[in-house]
Amino acid sequence: MWGSIVQAVWSFMLALRERGLGSIWATVAIRREREIAELLGIPYDQYTQIGMFPVAYTIGTEFKRAWRRPVSEVLTYNRF
């Protein structure tokens, strides 16, 4: 299921970007899927929620890569 959802979300986010809008993917909301379904009127038994995507105008449109620690500092093999 996720194999097709990710592309759809990616397209959605690109379309937002084109319009000066941005979003993030928050899966954590699914922990309260039933409550969200009731709040938003989503038929809980018929639909599977895959995340929540807040949408807003971004502060500026000049995006660049965020700084990240080198992968060698955060990735380990066969140990923690």
Ligand X SMILES: Cc1cc2nc3c(=O)[nH]c(=O)nc-3n(C[C@H](O)[C@H](O)[C@H](O)COP(=O)(O)O)c2cc1C
Q: Which residues bind ligand X (CB under 6 A)?
A: 24-28, 51, 66
Sequence-distant (≥ 6) Cβ neighbours of residue 52 within 8 angstroms: 26, 29, 36
Closest to 55 in 3D by CA, of 34, 30, 25, 10: 25
Shortest distance (Å) from residue 24 CB to ligand X: 4
- Shortest distance in whole angstroms from residue 52 CB to ligand X: 8
Q: Would you say 74 or 77 has its CB closer to ligand X?
A: 74
Report which residue's Cβ sits closest to ligand X: 28
